Chains A and B, each alone.
Chain A
Amino acid sequence: MDQRDEQEFAEYFVARREAVRRTAYLLCGDWHRADDFAQTAFVAVHRRWRKIRDKQALDAYVRRTLVRAVIDESRRPWRREKFTDELPESPASDHEIGDAVATREALMKGLRRVPPRQRAVLVLRFLEGLDVTATAEVLKCSEGTVKSQTARGLTALREALGDAIDDLRPAS
């Protein structure tokens, strides 16, 4: 890339790095791995910077690369996610930390128990704020699939959280 392209990429990187890191964190639940996934996505964009004519589609390209990287990683045998009731680290009691932190911890634990693809749908819709059409575009699937994955993801999240977060209880 020439100097101008490098400058454009640097500006885009500064503007989007933290958002991409947060998305990666909710997808994988670990900041170190989130940085790896985010860097992988930015490297992919940097390598194809001159080939991407529509700069407005950069965000979609980064999201797609990120989600694919996380899902692919979760499928690898040595990274395959296992659902277990016993966590490797015993959580601190709720009275030792604030309610906000407890809610955050509960949400992250619940997300870890949601299957990767459903988790990606939830993150894209509720963190990134994408609608069904945009989410389907990022995941390269139909809108019906996005809707069904959203419903199943929320159900799995509710089951994982139990009564930890009242806001996720289905409206009766």
Chain B
Amino acid sequence: MDEQKLADLFRDAAHDAPPASFDASDVRIASRRATLRRRNSIAAGTTLVVVLGFGGVVAGMNWIGQDKSSSSVLGSGQADDNKAQSPQTGSATALEAQPPQSDFPGDPSTQGDGSTPGSTGLSTSDRAVQGCAGVDRELADALAGELSVSPEQAQPPTVTCSPDSRSAAFKIDGLTITAIVTPRPFEAPAGAEKVRTAKGQDLYVFTQGDGQLKSQARRFADALAPRF
């Protein structure tokens, strides 16, 4: 086979070419367009990577934050069954971190979480730790009413009693009038009046010192007993 003849056949086959449909300016335009398209694709890809990366970081931080908050909630000492005891568990997460609410308003709480109805002023947290070391505001209010003095003048008694006792004392012109309500035996000073209260506890009223109301301890005891 003659390669030269074959080459002539190939050249002759492509000899009669029609006019070209493109020129140098078309090539330049297409080149710039392709370059611009490539730049745009690179910019779009970079933007996508940045957005996805930023979103991933934000999502990761939110996830870590949620993880920490849930851990702190579980570690707040609140058992899961506390949520069931609370009558208002609309938002369990918000309430879990708060002390449990009392279901019975009349029941004196020993957790120091609110004031007892019927008493004013001094919080029950004082009573929880005192016995005769502090003033029971309800008893002070009642005794102040009988003595016609201000409840703010109440003061702790100078005697000792059991921690579950309630006490209040007023000092009027050198005379100290003390009232103690206790469920346990109490070694009262001489001259003390003892009365059984409506709830079955013992009410002791006694005076110390000298004053106009010295002999009226019994009257005060009779007046206070129905209330306790």
**Residues of chain A having any CB pair with chain B under 8 Å:** 6, 9-10, 13-14, 17-18, 21-23, 25-26, 31-32, 35, 38-39, 42-43, 46-47, 100, 103-104, 107-108, 122-123, 126-127, 129, 154, 165, 167-171
Contacts and interface: CB of A to CB of B under 8 A. Distances in A.
Given A22-B17, A167-B5, A127 B27 contact: no
A22 B17 CA distance: 7
B6 A39 contact: no
17 contacts: A9-B24, A13-B27, A22-B17, A26-B13, A38-B20, A38-B22, A46-B27, A47-B35, A104-B12, A122-B10, A127-B7, A127-B11, A129-B7, A167-B1, A167-B9, A168-B6, A170-B1
A26 B16 CA distance: 12
A17 B9 contact: no
Contacts of A6: 28
A146 to B, nearest CB: 14
B103 interface: no
Nearest to A9: B24
Interface residues of B, number: 26
Given A25-B14, A47-B35, A169-B1, A103 B21 contact: no
B198 interface: no
A168 B1 contact: yes
A124 to B, nearest CB: 10
A107 B1 contact: no
Contact of B12 (A43, A103, A129, A154): A103
Contacts of B12: 100, 103-104
Given A25-B14, A167-B9, A154 B21 contact: no
Contacts of B15: 22
A127 B1 CA distance: 16
Contact of B17 (A31, A126, A170): A31
A10 B24 contact: yes
Nearest to B6: A126
A21 B17 contact: yes
Contact of B9 (A43, A107, A170): A107
Q: Which 7 A-B pairs have the closest CB atoms?
A: A22-B14, A46-B31, A127-B10, A126-B7, A35-B21, A167-B5, A104-B13
A103 B21 CA distance: 26
A100 B13 CA distance: 9
A167 to B, nearest CB: 5
Contact of A126 (B10, B18, B27, B31): B10
Given A18-B20, A43-B34, 14 more contacts: A13-B27, A14-B24, A21-B17, A35-B21, A39-B30, A43-B30, A46-B28, A47-B35, A103-B12, A107-B9, A127-B7, A165-B9, A169-B1, A170-B1
